[in-house]
A and B are shown apart, each in its own frame.
Chain A
Amino acid sequence: MLEVKGLVAGYAGSEVLHGIDLEVNEGEGVIVLGPNGHGKSTLLRAVTGLLSPRAGQVLLDGKDITRWRADAIAAAGLVHIPQGDLLFPEMTVTENLLMGAYHGPTWSERSARLGRVYELFPWLKERGGQLARTLSGGERRMLALGRGLMSKAKLLLIDEPSLGLAPITTQQIYASIHKVKESGLSLLIADENANHVAGLADRVYLLETGSLVRQGPADELLRDKALLESYLG
Chain B
Amino acid sequence: MSTQFVQAVWGGILFGSVYGLMALGLTLVWGAVRLLNLAHGAIFVVGSYVAFFVVSKLNLPILVALPIGVLAAAAFAYLMHLIFIRPVIGKPGFDNSTLIATVGISIAVSAAAILIFNPEYKVIPPIISGNFTLSDVQITKQGLLVIGTSLALFALVYLFLTYTRRGMAIRAVSQQQEAASLMAIPVVRTYGMVIAISGALAGLAGVLLSPFFFLNPNSGFNPMIQALIVTIFGGLGSVRGALVAGFVLGIFESFVEVYYGVAWAQPGVFLLIILMLIVRPNGLFGIGEVRRL
**A-to-B contact residues, CB < 8 Å:** 48-50, 69-72, 74-75, 79-80, 82, 86-91, 95, 98-100, 102-103, 107, 147, 151
Pair B182/A88 contact, Cβ less than 8 Å: no
Closest residue on chain A to residue B171 by CB atoms: A91
Pair B185/A86 contact, Cβ less than 8 Å: no
**Neighbouring A residues of B81 by C-beta, 8 Å:** none
**Neighbouring A residues of B169 by C-beta, 8 Å:** 99, 102
What CA separation (Å) do A107 and B164 show in the bound complex? 10
What CA separation (Å) do A48 and B183 show in the bound complex? 11
Q: Quick check: is B57 within 8 A (CB to CB) of the other chain? A: no
Pair B181/A91 contact, Cβ less than 8 Å: no
**Neighbouring B residues of A151 by C-beta, 8 Å:** 183-184
Pair B182/A74 contact, Cβ less than 8 Å: yes
**Neighbouring B residues of A107 by C-beta, 8 Å:** 165
- Tally the A-B contacts, defined by beta carbons under 8 Å: 78
What CA separation (Å) do A69 and B182 show in the bound complex? 10
Within 8 A of A (CB), among B164-200: 165, 168-169, 171-172, 175-176, 178-187
Given A88-B171, A88-B172, also A82-B179 (CB < 8 A): yes
Closest residue on chain A to residue B291 by CB atoms: A90
Given A99-B183, A102-B185, A151-B183, also A89-B178 (CB < 8 A): no
Pair B172/A80 contact, Cβ less than 8 Å: no
Contact with A along B97-118 (1 / 0, CB 8 A): 0000000000000000000000
Pair B179/A50 contact, Cβ less than 8 Å: no
Pair B184/A75 contact, Cβ less than 8 Å: yes
**Neighbouring B residues of A49 by C-beta, 8 Å:** 181
Pair B175/A88 contact, Cβ less than 8 Å: yes
Within 8 A of A (CB), among B141-178: 165, 168-169, 171-172, 175-176, 178
6 nearest A-B residue pairs (beta carbon): A103-B184, A86-B179, A74-B184, A70-B181, A75-B184, A88-B175
Closest residue on chain A to residue B185 by CB atoms: A102
Between-chain CB contacts (< 8 Å), 22 pairs: A48-B182, A49-B181, A71-B180, A71-B185, A71-B187, A74-B184, A82-B178, A86-B182, A88-B171, A88-B180, A89-B175, A89-B176, A89-B290, A90-B293, A91-B172, A99-B172, A102-B168, A102-B184, A102-B185, A103-B183, A107-B165, A151-B183
Q: Quick check: is B240 within 8 A (CB to CB) of the other chain? A: no
Pair A102/B165 contact, Cβ less than 8 Å: yes
